[in-house]
Amino acid sequence: MPISIDCLPLEILSKIFNCVPLKEIIHAVSLVCKKWYRIVGNDVTLFQFLCIRKHFNEDIDESEQRDQAEKLIHRFNFLSELMLLDPTILPLKFDKNPELERVTVNLRDAPTVYINKRHYLFRISEEEIIASLEDPLENHILINRESILETKVLQLVFNPQKEDVTIENIAPENIEDFQVIFTFLIQPDMCTWRRDLFDNFVIDLEERTRNMKCLEKIFLSINFEVCAFSIEKCHNVFSAILGVNFQDLTLHFSLSVMGDFTSDIDVTMDPLQSSQKITSFTLFDFSEWRLSKSIIRRLVEAMPMLNYLNFETSTAHHLLEMLELFSHIDKLQQLTITINHLSWNAKDKSENEDNEFFHLALGFMQANFKMETEIAVERMWNSNEIGSYTAITKKKGELPILNAFINLPFQLE
């Protein structure tokens, strides 16, 4: 005689549901019947985190989308964390979710954040920026508008049990992730207005971030000319960011050192202030390695608690030097090096055929990295035909392995 699944005890049904993909639980399992709806909604192990994106459907107006989102959120009584990928879906009601204590709002495509009608990082008011668009005369704000507006908040966090979840009247305490993008070249002959913008950012950063209690990530993009003036400016901005005083901070830097390498160029940077807070660091370096390596060395030396490092560069010619530098990071658990063969930077196409760099790197890893460290060396091309692959893989507790297909004759167009 067949036995219905409804005859199973609630504890068994709950364990079965825990093996089902969350998407299927939302769109199928919880809609089968009222009994299953209640099991899903009251199971503390099933739904503690939920991510919602806005529908790009012209047939559904914003009011209906909010209504659908609220119904979905209210299904899960033990929901403790929610992520909203589009702030325009707000406002939402969370009164039926007593366990919900963290709502994250993604602002990547949202406008610049102002606090008390002033830019959240720069000494510029919202009124000044608006006025610059209407001014027929060329002015400094208009010329540098991209740097000002692209230096923005990327993510907010709220506790709906204590505050309204809204992107109006944002407080520093709500900022979790922000980016700073200097679109102009840091060089001796930059105008006074740009120099003041840069210097005031460095001076004000500690004060501006003091109340950002939820801050977890900072992204910095900077381009500078090879000279003593620019290196000193970069030292100042790196020191300011390293001085931000919060636990488990993640840094993302995009670095470009402009210039041609010659033997008489001095790219030495003084030691940076050490930070015990930074555990994760992502660095995009599209400079000539000989220009940037001493600066990168100073950066990693200043992060003694670093566990995770992602490094992206445009050449494998100096892979051995990169590994030598990173092998001295004492607490490193995971290292990813991505060789991005950018089409605009492919000066030496012979690298694509000569894989000696990777064979040498394999031996260096075996001799110099701890067995617990995980390593991946990846290669990428701006080509649909080639794409990407992992050249070297080292798993925790194992020796590194070279990709068996590394000698395939890929050709750059």
Tokens describing residue 263: 């033997």
pLDDT computed for residue 264 by the predictor: 58
Identify the pLDDT of residue 412: 39
Where helices occur in 135-178 by DSSP H, the ranges are: 140-143, 145-150
List the domain boundaries for the chain. Answer: 5-102
User: What is residue 140's three-state secondary structure?
Assistant: helix
8 A C-beta contact, residue 214 and residue 157? yes
Relative to beta strand 308-313, strand 278-285 is parallel
Provide the pLDDT for residue 56. 58
Q: Crossing angle for the helix pair 319-326 and 356-368, nearest 10 degrees? A: 20
Q: What are the distances in angstroms from CA 27 to CA 57, 61, 67, 75?
A: 18, 21, 16, 12
Per-residue tens of pLDDT for the chain, all 413 residues: 566 666 667 667 777 776 777 667 766 777 777 777 777 666 656 666 778 877 655 566 778 888 888 888 887 777 889 999 888 888 898 888 888 999 999 998 777 888 888 999 999 888 887 777 666 555 666 677 788 888 999 999 999 999 999 888 789 999 999 999 999 999 999 988 899 999 999 999 999 999 999 999 999 999 998 888 999 999 999 999 999 987 788 999 998 888 765 655 667 899 999 999 899 999 999 888 888 999 999 999 999 999 999 999 988 889 999 999 999 999 999 999 999 876 545 444 444 445 788 999 999 999 999 999 999 999 887 655 567 889 999 999 999 999 987 766 554 33
Would you put residue 307 in left (φ > 0), alpha (ψ -120 to 50) or beta? alpha
Alpha-carbon distance of 51 to 265, in angstroms, equals 50
Q: What is the pLDDT of residue 6?
A: 65
pTM here is 0.83
Residue 58 confidence (pLDDT): 59
